[in-house]
Amino acid sequence: MSQARFGRGDRVRVRRADVPGHLRTPRYIRGHEGEVERICGFFANPEELAFNRHGLPRRALYRVRFRQADVWPDYDGPATDTIDVEIYEHWLEQA
Amino acid sequence: MSGHTHHDHHDHDHDHPHPTQPDVDGPLTYHQRLEIAVRELMIEKGVLTADEVRRTVEAMDARSPAGGARVVARAWTDPAYKQTLMTDPSRALNQVGVEVGLYKLVVVENTDAVHNLVVCTLCSCYPRAILGLPPDWYKSRAYRSRAVREPRTVMAEFGLEIPDDVAVRVHDSTADMRYLVLPKRPKGTEGWSETRLAGIVTRDTMIGVAEARLP
Protein backbone atom coordinates (compact mmCIF):
# COMPACT_ATOMS: atom_id res chain seq x y z
CA MET A 1 0.00 0.00 0.00
CA SER A 2 1.38 3.36 -0.97
CA GLN A 3 1.11 6.78 0.59
CA ALA A 4 -1.82 9.02 -0.20
CA ARG A 5 -0.74 11.59 -2.74
CA PHE A 6 -3.02 14.35 -1.48
CA GLY A 7 -3.70 15.65 2.00
CA ARG A 8 -6.62 17.31 3.71
CA GLY A 9 -7.14 20.83 2.36
CA ASP A 10 -5.31 20.21 -0.93
CA ARG A 11 -6.89 21.65 -4.07
CA VAL A 12 -7.60 18.94 -6.60
CA ARG A 13 -9.28 18.62 -9.98
CA VAL A 14 -11.28 15.62 -11.14
CA ARG A 15 -9.98 14.18 -14.40
CA ARG A 16 -12.24 14.81 -17.34
CA ALA A 17 -11.96 11.28 -18.65
CA ASP A 18 -14.59 9.49 -20.66
CA VAL A 19 -13.82 5.82 -20.31
CA PRO A 20 -16.10 2.79 -20.33
CA GLY A 21 -16.55 0.52 -17.33
CA HIS A 22 -18.04 0.40 -13.87
CA LEU A 23 -16.93 3.85 -12.70
CA ARG A 24 -17.51 5.37 -9.30
CA THR A 25 -16.76 8.93 -10.45
CA PRO A 26 -20.03 10.56 -11.47
CA ARG A 27 -19.96 12.42 -14.73
CA TYR A 28 -21.33 15.69 -13.30
CA ILE A 29 -18.21 16.17 -11.17
CA ARG A 30 -15.56 15.47 -13.81
CA GLY A 31 -13.41 18.47 -14.65
CA HIS A 32 -14.36 20.31 -11.45
CA GLU A 33 -12.05 21.61 -8.81
CA GLY A 34 -12.48 21.09 -5.09
CA GLU A 35 -10.73 20.57 -1.80
CA VAL A 36 -9.80 17.32 -0.09
CA GLU A 37 -12.11 17.03 2.94
CA ARG A 38 -10.55 13.80 4.22
CA ILE A 39 -8.70 10.68 3.22
CA CYS A 40 -11.15 7.82 3.63
CA GLY A 41 -8.54 5.07 3.50
CA PHE A 42 -7.29 2.58 0.94
CA PHE A 43 -9.66 0.27 -0.91
CA ALA A 44 -9.51 -2.33 -3.63
CA ASN A 45 -10.30 -0.53 -6.89
CA PRO A 46 -14.05 -1.01 -7.52
CA GLU A 47 -13.54 -0.46 -11.25
CA GLU A 48 -11.54 -3.70 -11.25
CA LEU A 49 -13.64 -5.59 -8.70
CA ALA A 50 -16.66 -5.09 -10.95
CA PHE A 51 -14.98 -7.33 -13.51
CA ASN A 52 -14.03 -10.00 -11.00
CA ARG A 53 -10.40 -8.92 -10.77
CA HIS A 54 -8.64 -8.42 -7.43
CA GLY A 55 -8.46 -4.63 -7.65
CA LEU A 56 -4.98 -4.47 -6.12
CA PRO A 57 -2.97 -2.47 -5.25
CA ARG A 58 -5.47 -0.69 -3.06
CA ARG A 59 -6.18 2.88 -4.03
CA ALA A 60 -6.50 5.93 -1.84
CA LEU A 61 -10.08 7.17 -1.61
CA TYR A 62 -10.81 10.81 -0.81
CA ARG A 63 -13.82 12.85 0.05
CA VAL A 64 -13.56 16.00 -2.04
CA ARG A 65 -15.69 19.05 -1.28
CA PHE A 66 -16.90 21.20 -4.17
CA ARG A 67 -18.75 24.50 -4.09
CA GLN A 68 -22.17 23.97 -5.60
CA ALA A 69 -21.88 27.28 -7.44
CA ASP A 70 -18.77 25.92 -9.19
CA VAL A 71 -20.44 22.65 -10.18
CA TRP A 72 -23.76 24.03 -11.46
CA PRO A 73 -23.58 27.43 -13.18
CA ASP A 74 -27.28 28.00 -12.48
CA TYR A 75 -27.17 26.76 -8.89
CA ASP A 76 -29.97 28.30 -6.87
CA GLY A 77 -28.69 28.66 -3.31
CA PRO A 78 -26.17 30.42 -1.09
CA ALA A 79 -22.47 30.38 -1.99
CA THR A 80 -21.78 28.35 1.17
CA ASP A 81 -23.58 25.26 -0.20
CA THR A 82 -21.29 22.37 -1.02
CA ILE A 83 -21.29 18.86 -2.39
CA ASP A 84 -18.92 16.17 -1.13
CA VAL A 85 -18.07 13.30 -3.47
CA GLU A 86 -15.92 10.22 -2.85
CA ILE A 87 -13.24 10.04 -5.51
CA TYR A 88 -10.38 7.61 -6.03
CA GLU A 89 -6.88 8.98 -6.33
CA HIS A 90 -6.40 7.94 -9.94
CA TRP A 91 -9.25 10.27 -10.86
CA LEU A 92 -7.61 13.30 -9.24
CA GLU A 93 -4.89 15.69 -10.31
CA GLN A 94 -3.35 18.65 -8.55
CA ALA A 95 -5.33 21.84 -9.17
CA MET B 1 -63.67 5.39 -8.17
CA SER B 2 -67.29 5.24 -7.03
CA GLY B 3 -68.07 5.98 -3.42
CA HIS B 4 -69.26 2.56 -2.29
CA THR B 5 -67.29 0.54 0.21
CA HIS B 6 -65.70 -2.79 -0.49
CA HIS B 7 -68.42 -4.47 1.51
CA ASP B 8 -71.06 -3.17 -0.87
CA HIS B 9 -69.50 -5.12 -3.68
CA HIS B 10 -71.04 -8.28 -2.43
CA ASP B 11 -74.53 -6.85 -2.43
CA HIS B 12 -74.94 -5.68 -6.00
CA ASP B 13 -74.87 -7.17 -9.47
CA HIS B 14 -71.56 -6.88 -11.24
CA ASP B 15 -72.81 -5.15 -14.33
CA HIS B 16 -69.88 -2.74 -14.48
CA PRO B 17 -66.16 -3.45 -14.72
CA HIS B 18 -63.91 -3.01 -11.72
CA PRO B 19 -60.26 -2.04 -12.11
CA THR B 20 -57.90 -4.85 -11.21
CA GLN B 21 -54.41 -4.68 -9.79
CA PRO B 22 -52.08 -5.56 -12.68
CA ASP B 23 -50.08 -8.75 -12.19
CA VAL B 24 -46.33 -8.29 -12.06
CA ASP B 25 -45.41 -11.54 -13.78
CA GLY B 26 -44.05 -10.11 -17.00
CA PRO B 27 -40.92 -11.52 -18.58
CA LEU B 28 -37.92 -11.81 -16.25
CA THR B 29 -34.95 -9.53 -16.75
CA TYR B 30 -31.52 -10.94 -17.46
CA HIS B 31 -30.38 -10.42 -13.86
CA GLN B 32 -33.55 -11.97 -12.42
CA ARG B 33 -32.93 -15.08 -14.53
CA LEU B 34 -29.27 -15.10 -13.50
CA GLU B 35 -30.20 -14.88 -9.81
CA ILE B 36 -32.67 -17.74 -10.09
CA ALA B 37 -30.21 -19.91 -12.02
CA VAL B 38 -27.36 -19.36 -9.53
CA ARG B 39 -29.63 -19.85 -6.52
CA GLU B 40 -31.09 -23.10 -7.90
CA LEU B 41 -27.64 -24.42 -8.77
CA MET B 42 -26.28 -23.68 -5.32
CA ILE B 43 -29.26 -25.38 -3.70
CA GLU B 44 -28.96 -28.42 -6.01
CA LYS B 45 -25.26 -28.74 -5.25
CA GLY B 46 -25.93 -28.51 -1.54
CA VAL B 47 -23.98 -25.28 -1.01
CA LEU B 48 -27.06 -23.58 0.42
CA THR B 49 -30.51 -24.70 1.39
CA ALA B 50 -33.66 -22.94 0.27
CA ASP B 51 -34.42 -22.28 3.92
CA GLU B 52 -31.07 -20.53 4.43
CA VAL B 53 -31.80 -18.26 1.48
CA ARG B 54 -35.25 -17.51 2.84
CA ARG B 55 -33.88 -16.78 6.32
CA THR B 56 -31.26 -14.39 4.95
CA VAL B 57 -33.85 -12.49 2.93
CA GLU B 58 -36.10 -12.38 5.99
CA ALA B 59 -33.25 -10.98 8.12
CA MET B 60 -32.43 -8.36 5.47
CA ASP B 61 -36.05 -7.28 5.27
CA ALA B 62 -36.27 -7.11 9.07
CA ARG B 63 -33.49 -4.52 9.40
CA SER B 64 -34.88 -1.18 10.43
CA PRO B 65 -33.73 2.35 11.25
CA ALA B 66 -33.93 1.42 14.96
CA GLY B 67 -30.16 0.84 15.13
CA GLY B 68 -29.41 4.27 13.74
CA ALA B 69 -31.97 5.88 16.05
CA ARG B 70 -30.33 4.27 19.07
CA VAL B 71 -26.93 5.60 18.01
CA VAL B 72 -28.28 9.14 17.51
CA ALA B 73 -30.12 9.16 20.85
CA ARG B 74 -26.97 8.04 22.66
CA ALA B 75 -24.93 10.76 20.90
CA TRP B 76 -27.50 13.36 21.97
CA THR B 77 -27.22 12.42 25.62
CA ASP B 78 -23.55 11.45 25.99
CA PRO B 79 -20.91 13.94 24.69
CA ALA B 80 -18.09 11.42 25.00
CA TYR B 81 -20.08 8.92 22.93
CA LYS B 82 -20.79 11.59 20.33
CA GLN B 83 -17.07 12.29 20.08
CA THR B 84 -16.42 8.59 19.42
CA LEU B 85 -19.26 8.48 16.87
CA MET B 86 -17.82 11.39 14.91
CA THR B 87 -14.22 10.12 14.91
CA ASP B 88 -14.57 6.33 15.00
CA PRO B 89 -18.11 5.38 13.94
CA SER B 90 -17.42 1.63 13.82
CA ARG B 91 -16.38 1.59 17.46
CA ALA B 92 -19.35 3.74 18.44
CA LEU B 93 -21.76 1.38 16.70
CA ASN B 94 -20.22 -1.64 18.37
CA GLN B 95 -20.61 0.03 21.74
CA VAL B 96 -24.38 0.04 21.42
CA GLY B 97 -24.52 -3.40 19.84
CA VAL B 98 -25.32 -2.24 16.31
CA GLU B 99 -23.65 -4.28 13.61
CA VAL B 100 -21.57 -2.11 11.32
CA GLY B 101 -21.76 -4.09 8.11
CA LEU B 102 -19.10 -4.16 5.43
CA TYR B 103 -18.74 -0.49 4.74
CA LYS B 104 -17.11 2.39 6.55
CA LEU B 105 -19.51 4.88 8.02
CA VAL B 106 -19.14 8.65 7.91
CA VAL B 107 -21.27 10.58 10.39
CA VAL B 108 -22.19 14.14 9.42
CA GLU B 109 -23.67 16.44 12.02
CA ASN B 110 -26.46 18.94 11.52
CA THR B 111 -25.93 22.20 13.41
CA ASP B 112 -27.42 25.70 13.39
CA ALA B 113 -24.97 26.52 10.56
CA VAL B 114 -24.94 23.30 8.50
CA HIS B 115 -27.57 20.91 7.16
CA ASN B 116 -26.49 17.61 5.60
CA LEU B 117 -28.28 15.59 2.93
CA VAL B 118 -27.29 12.13 1.68
CA VAL B 119 -27.77 10.75 -1.82
CA CYS B 120 -26.17 8.13 -4.03
CA THR B 121 -26.29 9.42 -7.58
CA LEU B 122 -24.76 6.30 -9.12
CA CYS B 123 -27.05 3.66 -7.63
CA SER B 124 -28.60 3.48 -4.18
CA CYS B 125 -25.77 3.06 -1.66
CA TYR B 126 -27.35 3.32 1.76
CA PRO B 127 -26.28 2.39 5.30
CA ARG B 128 -28.54 -0.68 5.39
CA ALA B 129 -26.86 -2.09 8.49
CA ILE B 130 -28.16 0.79 10.59
CA LEU B 131 -31.12 2.16 8.61
CA GLY B 132 -32.58 -0.99 7.04
CA LEU B 133 -33.73 -1.02 3.43
CA PRO B 134 -33.76 2.33 1.60
CA PRO B 135 -37.10 3.95 0.79
CA ASP B 136 -38.23 3.71 -2.84
CA TRP B 137 -37.80 7.44 -3.41
CA TYR B 138 -34.14 7.24 -2.38
CA LYS B 139 -33.54 4.88 -5.30
CA SER B 140 -35.57 6.90 -7.78
CA ARG B 141 -33.85 8.61 -10.67
CA ALA B 142 -35.57 11.87 -9.74
CA TYR B 143 -34.15 11.98 -6.21
CA ARG B 144 -30.70 10.80 -7.28
CA SER B 145 -30.33 13.42 -9.97
CA ARG B 146 -32.08 16.33 -8.26
CA ALA B 147 -30.66 16.01 -4.73
CA VAL B 148 -27.23 17.05 -5.97
CA ARG B 149 -28.40 19.75 -8.34
CA GLU B 150 -31.22 21.41 -6.43
CA PRO B 151 -31.08 20.05 -2.88
CA ARG B 152 -33.01 22.94 -1.36
CA THR B 153 -35.92 22.47 -3.73
CA VAL B 154 -35.95 18.72 -3.12
CA MET B 155 -35.95 19.20 0.65
CA ALA B 156 -38.72 21.80 0.36
CA GLU B 157 -40.80 19.18 -1.46
CA PHE B 158 -40.30 16.97 1.59
CA GLY B 159 -41.56 19.88 3.71
CA LEU B 160 -38.16 21.00 4.92
CA GLU B 161 -37.18 24.61 4.25
CA ILE B 162 -33.53 25.38 4.99
CA PRO B 163 -32.84 29.09 5.60
CA ASP B 164 -30.17 30.75 3.46
CA ASP B 165 -27.88 31.34 6.44
CA VAL B 166 -27.58 27.57 6.87
CA ALA B 167 -25.14 25.87 4.47
CA VAL B 168 -26.48 22.78 2.73
CA ARG B 169 -23.91 20.03 2.41
CA VAL B 170 -24.85 17.25 0.05
CA HIS B 171 -22.95 13.97 0.33
CA ASP B 172 -22.84 11.80 -2.76
CA SER B 173 -22.25 8.25 -1.55
CA THR B 174 -20.39 7.15 -4.67
CA ALA B 175 -17.88 4.59 -3.46
CA ASP B 176 -16.98 2.82 -0.23
CA MET B 177 -18.40 5.13 2.45
CA ARG B 178 -21.88 5.11 3.88
CA TYR B 179 -23.44 8.15 5.53
CA LEU B 180 -25.43 8.81 8.65
CA VAL B 181 -26.81 12.26 9.35
CA LEU B 182 -26.75 13.15 13.03
CA PRO B 183 -29.85 15.34 13.27
CA LYS B 184 -30.19 18.26 15.67
CA ARG B 185 -31.75 17.42 18.99
CA PRO B 186 -35.01 19.36 19.17
CA LYS B 187 -35.67 21.86 21.94
CA GLY B 188 -38.11 20.64 24.55
CA THR B 189 -36.49 17.23 24.92
CA GLU B 190 -34.35 18.14 27.92
CA GLY B 191 -34.26 15.33 30.45
CA TRP B 192 -35.69 12.74 28.05
CA SER B 193 -34.41 9.18 28.31
CA GLU B 194 -32.41 7.69 25.47
CA THR B 195 -35.28 5.36 24.60
CA ARG B 196 -37.74 8.22 24.39
CA LEU B 197 -35.34 10.26 22.27
CA ALA B 198 -34.75 7.34 19.91
CA GLY B 199 -38.49 7.38 19.26
CA ILE B 200 -38.30 10.73 17.46
CA VAL B 201 -35.25 9.84 15.35
CA THR B 202 -36.84 8.66 12.13
CA ARG B 203 -35.27 7.25 8.99
CA ASP B 204 -35.75 10.50 7.07
CA THR B 205 -33.99 12.59 9.74
CA MET B 206 -30.93 10.35 9.31
CA ILE B 207 -30.95 10.80 5.50
CA GLY B 208 -31.40 14.55 5.89
CA VAL B 209 -34.80 15.18 4.28
CA ALA B 210 -36.41 15.90 7.65
CA GLU B 211 -35.56 17.30 11.07
CA ALA B 212 -36.20 15.49 14.31
CA ARG B 213 -39.10 17.09 16.17
CA LEU B 214 -41.47 16.57 19.03
CA PRO B 215 -44.26 14.11 18.31
Q: Are residues B54 and B134 in the same domain?
A: no
User: Tens of pLDDT along A33-68?
Assistant: 999 999 999 999 988 888 888 989 999 999 999 999
pLDDT recorded at residue B4: 47
Query: Of these residues, B123, B140, B145, B193, which one is catalytic?
Result: B123
B8 inside domain? no
Q: Above 0.90 for ipTM, yes or no? A: yes
The pLDDT profile of chain B, 215 residues, written as one tens digit per residue, is: 444 444 444 555 666 677 777 777 778 999 999 999 999 999 999 999 999 999 999 988 888 999 999 999 999 999 999 999 999 999 999 999 887 777 789 999 999 999 999 999 988 889 888 898 899 999 999 999 999 999 999 999 999 999 999 999 999 998 889 999 999 999 999 999 999 999 999 999 999 999 999 98
Number of domains chain B is built from: 2
B15 inside domain? no
Higher pLDDT, A1 or B19: B19
Q: Are residues B72 and B52 in the same domain?
A: no
Q: Are residues B85 and B139 in the same domain?
A: yes
Query: Of these residues, B2, B64, B90, B120, which one is catalytic?
Result: B120
pLDDT recorded at residue B5: 47
pLDDT recorded at residue B1: 40
Cβ neighbour number for residue B174 with a 10 Å cutoff: 25
pLDDT recorded at residue B124: 81
Q: Taking CB atoms and an 8 Å limit, are A86 and B152 in contact across chains?
A: no
CB crowding B66-97: b at 16 or more within 10 Å, else e = bbbbbbbbbbbbeeebbebbeeebeebbeeee
Q: Are residues B118 and B152 in the same domain?
A: yes
Annotated active-site residue B120? The verdict is yes
Contact A36, A79 (CB under 8 A): no
Annotated active-site residue B125? The verdict is yes
Contact B124, B172 (CB under 8 A): no
Mean pLDDT of chain A: 93
Q: Are residues B116 and B50 in the same domain?
A: no
Interface test with B, best of A85, A88, A90, A92 (most B CBs within 10 A): A85
In chain A, where are the structural domains located?
11-94
Contact B178, B203 (CB under 8 A): no
Rounded mean pLDDT, A6-12: 97
pLDDT recorded at residue B11: 53
Residue B134 maps to which CATH number? 3.90.330.10
Q: Are residues B175 and B88 in the same domain?
A: yes
Q: CATH for A11-94, among 2.40.33.20, 2.30.30.50, 3.30.70.980, 3.30.450.20?
A: 2.30.30.50
Percent of chain A surpassing pLDDT 70:
98
Q: Which domain holds residue B92?
A: 66-207
pLDDT recorded at residue B160: 98
B12 inside domain? no
Q: How many CA atoms lie within 13 A of A24 on its CB side?
A: 28
Residue A24 reports pLDDT greater than 50? yes
